[in-house]
Every structure is written in C-alpha cells, then in structure tokens.
Structure 1
Amino acid sequence: MSYEQARDELVAVVARLESGAESLEESLALWERGEALAARCQQWLDGARDRLAAARGGGSDDAPHDDGTDQA
C-alpha cells in the first residue's frame, strides 16, 4: 500500500469515527484499522527521512529531533 493510499484511507477512517454513527464494535474495529494505517504512514515517512539523509551524505544523526532541535 502506498503512502497516499494509507493516508487517504486513514482520513476516511477518522471521518467515520468522528461522525459517531458507528456501533461500539465497528468503532473499535475502525480504531484498530486507523492505528495500523497510521503506523504504515509513519514507516513511509521514516523511510523517506532516511533516504533523504543518505542522499545528503549523512546518516540519520543529521536529522533533527522530534522537537526540532539538532543533536549537535
């Protein structure tokens, strides 16, 4: 599944959950699907970050921390 497909499906899952029209059982299933899709999207983003770092000639040590600061 591509990043775009996972993202689009995740958006649809969130919209269904926000509507509140689903049963508890269906809401739990949707939540689990959303978690899986979010993890897949994160894998794609992490891979892209690693590829960019490699293309710049540095390892992931050159990437900013999650809080936006550099490691140095």
Structure 2
Amino acid sequence: MQTSEQAQAQRLLQWDQDRYVINRNLLLNDDERHETTLIYRRRDNSECTDYRQYSVIMTNWNPRLLGEYAYRW
C-alpha cells in the first residue's frame, strides 16, 4: 500500500467502516489524466488488527460490477 492509501485505511479503521469508495484522477503524462476509482474493503477474518486488514483495488469500472470478484478478494 502506498502512503496515502495506508493513511486512508488507518482512518477507516478509526471510523469502523468496512467499505469505502473514492473517485480520483490519476496523472499519466504531463497533461493526460485518467479517471479511476479506489475501493477499500476490510477483509473478513483478518489476522491483522491495524490498517493491513484493508485491501485496495483500483478500477475504472462501476464499483458495483466488482461484486462477482468478491470471492477472490
């Protein structure tokens, strides 16, 4: 996890949230931006008690369409 994702996961842990979705613009080149969505999700039955119990996925799809991948997550 990058520093900003780690900090966000720590905040989610403090707020006791299991899922969080945020839209961001990813800078690709000097003037090229790509709209993307970051989805934070707390893992079920995680052995960790800190920010590591969250996983983050980046997508440019609708976050609701990722439900079919939940079994791998």
Q: Which has the higher strand share?
A: 2
Given the two structures, how large is their TM-score scaled by the length of structure 1?
Answer: 0.28
Structure with greater helix share of residues: 1
Question: Which protein is bigger by CA-based radius of gyration?
Answer: 1
